[in-house]
Structure formats: C-alpha cells, structure tokens
C-alpha cells in the first residue's frame, strides 16, 4: 500500500472540494464572523436574548453536566458539528441560524473579558474549533446543493450521463431508473465533497478538544503570570 499515493489523492480531492464550493464556504464564514462581531461589540443590545444561554452554560459547568475534559469537549463539539451539518443539509436556513447563534454566543461571552485576555483564552483551541464548525456547516450546505441539483436533474435529465446511443432520445422513453442514475452520476461528487468538509471538521475538533482541555488554561495562566495577573 502506497500511503503517499493515497495522501496525494486526499490532498487533490480536498483542494477540489474547496475550489468547487468557494461561495458556500464564504457564506459559512460570513454567517459566523458577522454574528461574532455583533455579539462582542453589541453585547448590551442582545443581552436579553443571549444572557439566559450564558447562564445555562455556566450552570452546567458548575454542576458538572459539562466537564472540561478532552472527551467531553470533543463529544459536545462534534454533536454541534453534526447538528450544523444535518441542518445545513435538511434546510440551509436552519443550519445558518444555528451557526450564527453559536457565533453570537461566543462573541457575547467574550465581551466580559478584555480583548487581549479573551484572545489568549480562546485562540489556542479556537484556531481549530472555529474553522471546524464552519467546515461542518459548509459540508451540510454542499449536501443540500447535491439534493437540489439531483432533484433538478431528475426533472431535466442530462443526456450525457445516460447510456443512450441517440443524444436526442425522447424524455418519454427515459425510465425513472435512468433518470435517477443520470442525476446521481452528474452530482455524485457533491456527496464526496460534503463528507470531506465534515471529516476535516471532525479532525480539527479532535485537535481543538485536546488543546482546550490540556493546553489553553495552563498556557493562559503562564502568560498572565508573566505580567503578575491571574485568570478570574
């Protein structure tokens, strides 16, 4: 087994997934970044909406319902990622709302901290965790794109994907099975690209969970200690 060969294939497939879905990826980024900034800079205006979520989160941490271990953080984050993926696929609006809501929460939560302190407490794992949930959402959008294009091609078959001698073969004579096969063949790459985004998201979440549980706080404590400060 030539591992380098398969890694090269994976690299090319990943590049293709990003190249073919630039707009959906950009949409996911904007759906995260804009609410994140709103949550941080307009915390007072959205306090009534977000504060109950923050209080519930803090209570769960204090009660031990949510624990800051690699396993628990990874499990929680992957659950969110799969929810974002599924909602993005089942209805793009739902995925967009959940992604934006998560970003709003993160931005609002950070408004309680000095910006430098907040970055120190979030960047070590955030550089993996934030792209992960964006990628998972994008994967859901790509799968939704497959579904919509598949349905469209069922109604309007692409003859180049049908095993027919005559390219002007009458629609009436095309069987339902042929329509399904042709529509699937034309759009099957979307399924693969969707799973690439999801798998990348999960890999990033594994890294983020380990860093958040084992590195973020010790690193932050060390940095603050250099300036005679502590994490409160």
Using the predicted structure, report yes or no on whether residue 89 has a pLDDT greater than 70. Answer: yes
Using the predicted structure, report yes or no on whether residue 117 has a pLDDT greater than 60. Answer: yes
Using the predicted structure, report yes or no on whether residue 46 has a pLDDT greater than 80. Answer: yes
Using the predicted structure, report yes or no on whether residue 3 has a pLDDT greater than 60. Answer: yes
Q: What does the pLDDT look like over 10-24, one tens digit per residue?
A: 899 999 999 999 999
Phi, psi torsion values for 80, nearest 5 degrees:
-60, -45
CA 206, 94, 29, 100 torsion: positive or negative? negative
Cβ–Cβ < 8 Å for 25, 138? yes
Q: What does the pLDDT look like over 58-85, one tens digit per residue?
A: 777 666 655 667 777 778 888 888 988 9
- Structure tokens, 118: 């907040």
Q: Is 190 helix (H, G, I), strand (E, B) or coil?
A: helix
User: Residue 181 has what pLDDT?
Assistant: 86
Length of the chain: 232
Which of 196, 206, 204, 207 lies closest to 12, judged by CA? 196
DSSP secondary structure code for residue 227 in this structure: T
Average pLDDT over residues 164-169: 55
Q: What does the pLDDT look like over 122-159, one tens digit per residue?
A: 889 999 999 999 999 999 999 999 999 999 988 887 77
Cβ–Cβ < 8 Å for 103, 129? no
Q: Dmax over Cα atoms in the chain, in whole Å?
A: 80
Using the predicted structure, report yes or no on whether residue 49 has a pLDDT greater than 70. Answer: yes
User: Residue 21 has what pLDDT?
Assistant: 96
Cβ–Cβ < 8 Å for 37, 107? yes
pTM metric for this prediction: 0.85
Cα radius of gyration rounded to whole Å, the chain: 22
Residue 58 CA, chain-centre distance (Å), reads 24
């Amino acid at each position: 087994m030539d591992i380098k060969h398969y890694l090269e294939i994976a690299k090319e497939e990943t590049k293709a997934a990003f190249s073919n879905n630039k707009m959906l990826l950009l949409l996911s980024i904007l759906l995260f970044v804009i609410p994140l900034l709103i949550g941080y800079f307009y915390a007072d205006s959205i306090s009534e909406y977000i504060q109950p979520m923050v209080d519930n989160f803090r209570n769960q941490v204090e009660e031990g319902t949510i624990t800051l271990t690699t396993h628990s953080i990874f499990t929680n984050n992957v659950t969110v990622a799969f929810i974002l993926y599924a909602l993005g696929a089942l209805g793009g609006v739902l995925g967009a709302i959940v992604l934006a809501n998560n970003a709003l929460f993160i931005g609002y939560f950070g408004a309680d901290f000095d910006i430098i302190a907040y970055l120190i407490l979030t960047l070590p794992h955030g550089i993996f965790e934030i792209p992960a949930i964006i990628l998972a959402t994008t994967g859901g959008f790509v799968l939704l794109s497959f579904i919509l294009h598949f349905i469209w091609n069922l109604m309007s078959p692409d003859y180049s994907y049908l095993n027919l001698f005559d390219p002007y073969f009458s629609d009436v004579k095309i069987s339902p099975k042929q329509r399904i096969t042709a529509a699937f063949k034309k759009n099957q790459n979307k399924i693969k690209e969707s799973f690439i985004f999801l798998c990348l998201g999960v890999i990033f979440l594994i890294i983020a969970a380990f860093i958040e549980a084992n590195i973020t706080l010790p690193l932050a404590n060390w940095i603050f200690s250099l300036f005679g400060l502590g994490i409160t």
